[in-house]
Structure 1
Amino acid sequence: MTRSLLAVLDSIPGLRPATPSTTHIGSRVPWDLDTLAVSINDELIEIRVVALALPLPPLLREAEAALHTALGETRWKDARLRLVVTDIDAAALTPLAHVGDADA
């Protein structure tokens, strides 16, 4: 289920799984670090994400709808879905800086 949810998340431009730092040691880990961004139990599915674009509300609504669709025919169809934005990538803020510069 984790891989299915990550595949859905991968289809949403502007979001990516929030994973631990990919340092030299992290690159030696023999498993997919993206799976660490997903927690699943019978009542709650939590996915930690990093925003690569703004504004957040439409991105999160799109992700939520797509993820709920993926859960529709599974045993987790009634579980609550929680998307946790752990960080905003600096590139997401760049256009805002340009808008502010133009108004100055």
Structure 2
Amino acid sequence: MISETEMIDRIVAAIDAVDDVHPAVPMGLQNTRWLPWNAGRAAVDLTDAVVEIRVVAASLPLHPLLDELDAAVRPLLAGTPWAAARLRVHVVDLHTETFSDPDHDPGP
């Protein structure tokens, strides 16, 4: 049987494989390569009823990104204790580049 930690690592890898989306890591952990674990794990919570994922998106519209993320994560849950859990994805932030306008200079 797969452990919760291994499942979270697989989900984080699936998130990383989707273009324009990455795990939402709490402030202070973004650049902590010295940690003995993947900081992206903080973006995933597993319970029997719900698998919650927090992500940052880098493109719009969100619906195609979320569909692609669902398609990447849902098969990982098959045959595990989380197979019947609801998959809940929270887009907690958008990269500012998502809204950048090359014809507009915001100034200093």
Indicate the TM-score class for this superposition, using the shorter chain for normalisation. 0.7 to 0.9
| Structure with a larger share of its residues in helix | 1
Deviations 1:16-52 (A, max 9, x none): 0000124699555443211001000111000000001
Deviations 1:53-85 (A, max 9, x none): 111110001101221111112121110000000
Structure 2: runs of 5 or more not aligned = 1-6
Q: Which residue of 2 aligns with 1:57?
A: 63
Q: Which residue of 1 aligns with 2:48?
A: 42
Task: Give SS of 1:61's match.
Answer: helix
Structure 1: runs of 5 or more not aligned = none
Task: Report percent identity of matched pairs.
Answer: 36
Q: Which residue of 2 aligns with 1:19?
A: 25
- Runs of 4+ with deviation above 3 angstroms: 22-30
Q: Which residue of 1 aligns with 2:11?
A: 5
Q: Which residue of 2 aligns with 1:85?
A: 91
Q: Tell me: CA distance 1:71–1:30, structure 2 relative to 1, closer, same or farther (3 Å).
A: same
Question: Alignment RMSD, CA only?
Answer: 2.2
Of 48, 69, 75, the residue aligned with 2:75 is 69
User: What TM-score does the superposition give when structure 1 sets the normalisation length?
Assistant: 0.82
Q: How many residues align?
A: 98
